[in-house]
């Protein structure tokens, strides 16, 4: 893999998106992206939206919120219900998930079909938490348009009704979602107040650094990493000195092109 990756570099599966022995199960999913997203809505349920869908969170207490590799997720789904993935599961027959799981599943399906796709970690502007809320999406290469298209596979009609966003979830505007790379750059330039972005009460440059790292790692095919343990970081690791700021500035400046080169220095976060 060269430093300056091309769309074709994202047509193959990563360790995390590879469906493995369950590849045949995703072959039956619909051919178009909106229909694949609708199918995912019938397979997965986001932990934060259980009650808003009229279900009892206790019914999912036996499941973990941890992001699973796609092969394990498919095994779980087919263990719960052996029917084809095109058949929507109701209620507690769905698998507990987060936004990253929806994105990884879509990414796996697209790569299975030879469509260049990748996971992006960043911040969405359409949730009710922080103005820029920690989030994961998928993007695919639209060759006829020569651009990467953002898709939020989690968003269904309930999300639209409650969040009142006015865009198509299969073509999310770049103003509605910013990547971890973009967020760091905008914070450092003063365009965004770092206090506006984060995950729940955890905000600021610390979390901008977390998602910069996770975005770069995802671009390098490492969609889950030790940076997911950011809750373990104590106060001594949540402040950044000039050297740490300069290091992250350099990574962000190199952007997507530098993702693979940056991977070795990002594998272990400073609190590990």
Q: Are 217 and 225 in contact (CB under 8 A)?
A: yes
DSSP category for residue 255? G
Residue ranges of alpha helices (H) inside 180-258 are 180-188, 205-219, 235-238, 242-254
Check residue 164 and give its pLDDT. 96
pLDDT at 261 over 50: yes
Question: What is the average per-residue pLDDT within 239-261?
Answer: 94
Longest dimension (CA), the chain: 55
What percent of the chain has a predicted confidence (pLDDT) above 90?
91
What percent of the chain has a predicted confidence (pLDDT) above 70?
99
Residue pLDDT, tens place only, 200-209: 999 999 999 9
How many Cβ atoms from other residues are within 10 Å of residue 94's Cβ? Answer: 24
∠ CA 116-133-35, rounded to 5°: 40
Check residue 4 and give its pLDDT. 57
Of 91, 8, 110, nearest to 43 (Cα)? 91
pLDDT-derived band at 5 (thresholds 50, 70, 90) equals confident
The Cα-based distances of 60 to 5, 48, 72, 83, 215 in angstroms read 40, 12, 17, 20, 29
Structure-block tokens of residue 68: 């699973």
> Model's pTM, two decimal places?
0.95
Residues in the chain: 272
Question: Hey, where are the domains in the chain?
Answer: 8-266
Check residue 1 and give its pLDDT. 36
Of 95, 116, 119, 105, nearest to 19 (Cα)? 105
Task: Report helix, strand or coil for 252.
Answer: helix
Check residue 22 and give its pLDDT. 97
pLDDT at 91 over 90: no
Task: Report helix, strand or coil for 64.
Answer: coil
Question: What is the average per-residue pLDDT within 251-264?
Answer: 92
Backbone φ and ψ of 96, nearest 5°: -65, 135
Round to whole Å and give the CA distance between 12 and 33: 18
Check residue 2 and give its pLDDT. 37
pLDDT at 29 over 60: yes
How many Cβ atoms from other residues are within 10 Å of residue 49's Cβ? Answer: 15
Residue pLDDT, tens place only, 201-237: 999 999 999 999 999 999 999 999 999 999 999 999 9
Pairwise pLDDT comparison (65 vs 11), residue with the higher score: 11
Beta strands 95-97 and 147-151 are unpaired
pLDDT-derived band at 32 (thresholds 50, 70, 90) equals very high
How many Cβ atoms from other residues are within 10 Å of residue 234's Cβ? Answer: 7
Mean pLDDT of the chain: 95
Question: What is the average per-residue pLDDT within 133-147?
Answer: 97
pLDDT at 82 over 90: yes
């Amino acid at each position: 893999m060269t430093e300056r990756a091309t769309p074709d570099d994202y047509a193959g599966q990563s360790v995390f998106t590879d469906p493995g022995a369950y590849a045949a199960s995703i072959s039956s999913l619909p051919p178009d992206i909106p229909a694949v997203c609708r199918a995912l809505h019938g397979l997965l349920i986001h932990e934060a939206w259980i009650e808003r869908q009229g279900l009892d969170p206790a019914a999912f207490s036996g499941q973990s919120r941890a992001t699973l590799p796609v092969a394990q997720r498919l095994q779980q789904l087919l263990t719960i219900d052996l029917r084809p993935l095109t058949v929507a599961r109701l209620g507690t027959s769905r698998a507990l998930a987060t936004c990253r799981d929806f994105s990884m599943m879509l990414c796996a399906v697209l790569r299975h079909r030879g469509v260049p796709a990748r996971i992006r970690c960043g911040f969405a502007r359409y949730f009710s938490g922080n103005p820029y809320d920690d989030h994961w999406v998928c993007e695919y290469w639209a060759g006829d348009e020569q651009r990467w298209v953002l898709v939020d596979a989690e968003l269904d009609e309930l999300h639209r009704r409650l969040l009142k966003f006015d865009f198509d979830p299969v073509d999310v505007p770049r103003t509605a979602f910013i990547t971890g790379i973009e967020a760091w750059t905008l914070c450092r330039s003063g365009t965004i107040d770092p206090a506006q972005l984060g995950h729940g009460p955890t905000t600021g440059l610390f979390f901008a650094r977390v998602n910069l790292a996770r975005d770069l790692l995802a671009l390098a095919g490492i969609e889950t990493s030790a940076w997911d343990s950011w809750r373990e970081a104590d106060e001594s690791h949540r402040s950044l000195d000039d050297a740490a700021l300069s290091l992250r500035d350099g990574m962000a400046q190199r952007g997507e092109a530098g993702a693979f080169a940056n991977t070795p220095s990002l594998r272990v976060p400073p609190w590990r």
